[in-house]
């Protein structure tokens, strides 16, 4: 076997595929390599479209014997060569067939296209029956992005438009709904969104306590809407109401003085209040629709702090730990508390991966498992290895890295199929006020930002309604530093949650931006 000839032929085939076949196929031409010279000197490509047939040759080098040029000139309409030109006039002497570098094939292709059209249309054989791809995202441009969000929310308060969203999402899920069932879902969705708007958008003259209550109940209405819009969600508003007969599905508990040893020296402070999840009620029902299987729940509401030892530890958390999961207010959190935040910033590691990050089509071999390396950055410098391990997603190879940049840096591997990108398998939180954030879940598996915010709003609402002495301390007493934190959180809720819930209801990713921004 002559390896030199084989190598030349391999190079020629690769060049023909890249420079001739691929570009021509993109214009609807059918192509094949009809002839390969056994010494690897040349090959012939045949292209057809709409009854028009063309043949071109590709030489390994422009410095090919004149006899080969003359032989090919009788077989093809154009001779291309690989590489740089070398005394072309001498080697191609005596032939009239055009000769040129293969990089010039596009100009010839344009002429082929023009000569094979049917009036204004390409040939019928080029027309493919394309299946429309659903729109997965929507760009909203406005000088005030939140107003653009609320405009879309108001549109879906129309039963007609709500029906169209539900019908589309049901069809995309491969399901069907009869007209009556579709109408009931749409009526419930439109009403829930009107209710959410009423609670969220009444702000003028409200005290902080009133804002807490309104935003909590508005968030519940948004959650109702999310459930009704889901193809597998409840069929009617009444069905959701049935779950609320068992309460909110959450509980708040203060701490008794005798539990100071276990829980710390401030039993009455707002941040030390416990918020937990119950086995029945609205919240666990909502989580079930979201696909968050909550394993750690309390089957009975604890009456005092000593009861916490008898329920799963993962079924409750503290107000402080809920605030730790709101990246948008992390600066205030770090000023007030000594504990670490419960989130990190994921950054693609160009150093540890094979190639720089790019937004391109990933490989298509789903049977293989890939690994992408990220740097997880904790600007507070407080989070340790155990906190990294508690983050969601398929993380492996966790190790701390030295860095000249602020904070602590951890290198991790993200395991995923070869046809996926790392941000498709990690629940990365995005918002206008924070870069990407990987947030630690509560109750074992509840990691959605809107769900964590709902739990925090619930805890604050209980204090506002039933613990006025504690709330007075927040408003005007020794806990007034917490008021700044609460108000900052409420501002975040007002901006982010309507957008997050609208995404869930519509089934589309939203990008609400000011004109001219990236």
* Residue showing tokens 């591997």: 413
Q: Which value, to the nearest 10 degrees, does the dihedral of the CA atoms of residues 235, 237, 238, 244 take?
A: 110
Per-residue pLDDT at 129 exceeds 50:
yes
Q: Mean pLDDT for the chain?
A: 89
360 and 289 fall within a common domain: no
Tell me if 302 is assigned to some domain.
yes
Q: Is-contact 431 452, C-beta < 8 A?
A: no
187 and 259 fall within a common domain: yes
Phi, psi of 404 (to 5 degrees): -80, -10
Task: Provide the percentage of residues in the chain whose pLDDT is more than 90.
Answer: 68
Q: Is-contact 185 167, C-beta < 8 A?
A: no
Tell me if 131 is assigned to some domain.
no
Q: What are the C-alpha distances in Å from 92 to residues 38, 59, 80, 89? A: 21, 12, 11, 5
Give pLDDT, residue 108: 96
Beta strands in 323-362 (DSSP E): 343-348
Q: Is-contact 63 87, C-beta < 8 A?
A: yes
Q: Is-contact 423 394, C-beta < 8 A?
A: no
Per-residue pLDDT at 121 exceeds 90:
no
**pLDDT one-digit tens code per residue, 433-473:** 887 999 999 998 899 999 999 999 999 999 999 999 999 99
The helix, strand and coil proportions of the chain, stated in percent and rounded to the nearest 5, come to: 45, 20, 35
**pLDDT one-digit tens code per residue, 425-439:** 999 999 888 879 999
Per-residue pLDDT at 207 exceeds 80:
yes
Q: How far apart, in whole angstroms, are the C-alpha atoms of residue 504 and residue 224?
A: 11
Q: Which value, to the nearest 10 degrees, does the dihedral of the CA atoms of residues 359, 360, 365, 366 take?
A: 30
430 and 288 fall within a common domain: no
Using pLDDT thresholds of 50, 70 and 90, give the confidence band for residue 510. Answer: confident
431 and 449 fall within a common domain: no
pTM over 0.85? The answer is: no
Which of 461, 446, 500, 493 has the alpha carbon at shortest distance from 319?
461
Q: What is the helix (H) or strand (E) element at residue 198, kind and residue range?
A: helix 179-200
Q: Is-contact 435 420, C-beta < 8 A?
A: no
Instruction: From 92, 126, 160, give the residue that closes a domain.
Output: 126
43 and 144 fall within a common domain: no
Give pLDDT, residue 123: 82
**pLDDT one-digit tens code per residue, 341-398:** 999 999 999 889 976 655 444 544 444 568 899 999 999 999 988 889 989 999 999 9
91 and 145 fall within a common domain: no
Q: How far apart, in whole angstroms, are the C-alpha atoms of residue 332 and residue 433?
A: 14
333 and 393 fall within a common domain: no
Strands 99-101 and 78-81, by their bridges, are parallel
371 and 239 fall within a common domain: no
373 and 291 fall within a common domain: no
Q: What's the structural domain count of the chain?
A: 3
Give pLDDT, residue 3: 67
Which of 312, 279, 331, 329 has the alpha carbon at shortest distance from 452?
329
Give pLDDT, residue 41: 85
219 and 327 fall within a common domain: yes
Q: What are the C-alpha distances in Å from 272 to residues 78, 97, 269? A: 81, 86, 6
Give pLDDT, residue 257: 39
**pLDDT one-digit tens code per residue, 47-72:** 999 889 999 999 999 999 999 999 99
**pLDDT one-digit tens code per residue, 137-179:** 888 888 999 999 999 999 999 999 999 999 999 999 999 999 9
Using pLDDT thresholds of 50, 70 and 90, give the confidence band for residue 265. Answer: very low
List Cβ<8 Å contacts ≥24 apart for 215-218. 215/457, 215/490, 215/493, 215/494, 215/497, 216/454, 216/457, 216/458, 216/460, 216/461
Rg (CA), the chain: 32
Instruction: Provide DSSP, 365-380.
Output: -TTSEEEEEEEEEETT
Per-residue pLDDT at 193 exceeds 90:
yes
Give pLDDT, residue 365: 43
**pLDDT one-digit tens code per residue, 105-117:** 999 999 999 998 8
Per-residue pLDDT at 128 exceeds 70:
no
Tell me if 132 is assigned to some domain.
no
303 and 350 fall within a common domain: no
Tell me if 518 is assigned to some domain.
no
Which of 125, 151, 140, 135 has the alpha carbon at shortest distance from 48?
125
Give pLDDT, residue 268: 55
> The domain containing residue 391 runs over which residues?
343-439
Burial label for 186, CB within 10 Å (0-12, 13-18, 19+), is buried
> According to the 3-state scheme, what is the secondary structure of 18-47?
HHHHHHHHCCCCEEEEEEECCCCCEEEEEE
The runs of H, that is alpha helices, within 201-295 are 208-229, 237-244, 260-263, 282-290
Tell me if 418 is assigned to some domain.
yes
Residue 16 tokens, joined: 């023909």
């Amino acid at each position: 076997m002559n390896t030199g000839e084989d190598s030349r032929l391999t190079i020629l085939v690769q060049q023909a595929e890249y420079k001739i076949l691929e570009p021509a196929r993109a214009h609807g031409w059918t192509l094949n390599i009809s002839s390969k010279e056994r010494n690897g000197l040349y090959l012939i490509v045949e292209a057809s479209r709409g009854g028009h047939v063309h043949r071109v040759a590709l030489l390994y080098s422009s410095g090919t014997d004149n006899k080969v040029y003359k032989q090919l000139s009788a077989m093809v309409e154009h001779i291309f060569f690989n590489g740089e030109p070398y005394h072309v006039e001498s080697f191609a002497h005596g032939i009239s067939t055009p000769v040129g570098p293969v990089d010039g094939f596009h100009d010839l292709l344009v002429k082929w296209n023009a000569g094979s059209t049917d009036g204004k249309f390409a040939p019928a054989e080029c027309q493919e029956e394309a299946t429309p791809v659903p729109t997965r995202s929507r760009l909203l441009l406005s000088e005030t992005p939140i107003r653009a969000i609320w405009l879309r929310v108001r549109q879906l308060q129309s039963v007609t438009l709500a029906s169209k969203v539900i019908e589309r999402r049901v069809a995309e899920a491969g399901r069907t709904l009869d007209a009556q069932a579709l109408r009931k879902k749409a009526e419930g969705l439109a009403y829930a969104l009107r209710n959410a708007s009423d609670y969220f958008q009444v702000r003028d003259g409200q005290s902080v306590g009133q804002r807490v209550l309104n935003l909590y109940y508005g968030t519940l209405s948004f959650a109702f809407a999310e459930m009704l819009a889901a193809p597998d969600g409840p069929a009617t508003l009444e069905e959701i109401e049935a779950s609320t007969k068992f309460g909110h599905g959450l509980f708040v508990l203060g701490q008794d003085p005798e539990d100071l040893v276990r829980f710390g020296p401030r039993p009455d402070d707002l941040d030390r209040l416990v918020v937990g999840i119950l086995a029945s009620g609205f919240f666990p029902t909502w989580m079930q629709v979201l696909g968050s299987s909550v394993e750690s729940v309390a089957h009975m509401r604890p009456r005092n702090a000593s009861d916490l030892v008898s329920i799963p530890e993962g079924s409750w958390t503290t107000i402080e730990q809920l605030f730790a999961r709101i990246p948008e207010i992390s600066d205030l959190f770090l000023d007030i508390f000594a504990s670490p935040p419960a989130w990190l910033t994921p950054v693609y590691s160009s150093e540890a991966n094979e190639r720089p990050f790019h937004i391109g089509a990933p490989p298509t071999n789903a049977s293989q498992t890939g690994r992408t390396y990220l740097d997880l950055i904790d600007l507070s410098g407080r989070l340790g290895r155990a906190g990294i391990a508690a983050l969601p997603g398929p993380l492996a190879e966790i190790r701390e890295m030295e860095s000249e940049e602020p904070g602590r840096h951890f290198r991790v591997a993200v395991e995923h199929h070869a046809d996926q990108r790392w941000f498709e398998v990690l629940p990365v939180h995005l918002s206008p006020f924070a870069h990407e954030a990987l947030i630690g879940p509560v109750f074992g598996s509840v990691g959605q930002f809107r769900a964590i915010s709902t739990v925090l709003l619930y805890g604050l609402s209980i204090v506002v309604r039933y613990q006025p002495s504690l709330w007075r301390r927040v408003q005007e007493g020794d806990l007034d530093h917490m008021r700044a934190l609460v108000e900052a959180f409420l501002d975040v809720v007002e901006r982010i949650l309507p957008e997050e819930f609208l995404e869930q209801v519509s089934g589309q990713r939203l990008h609400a931006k000011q004109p001219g921004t990236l």
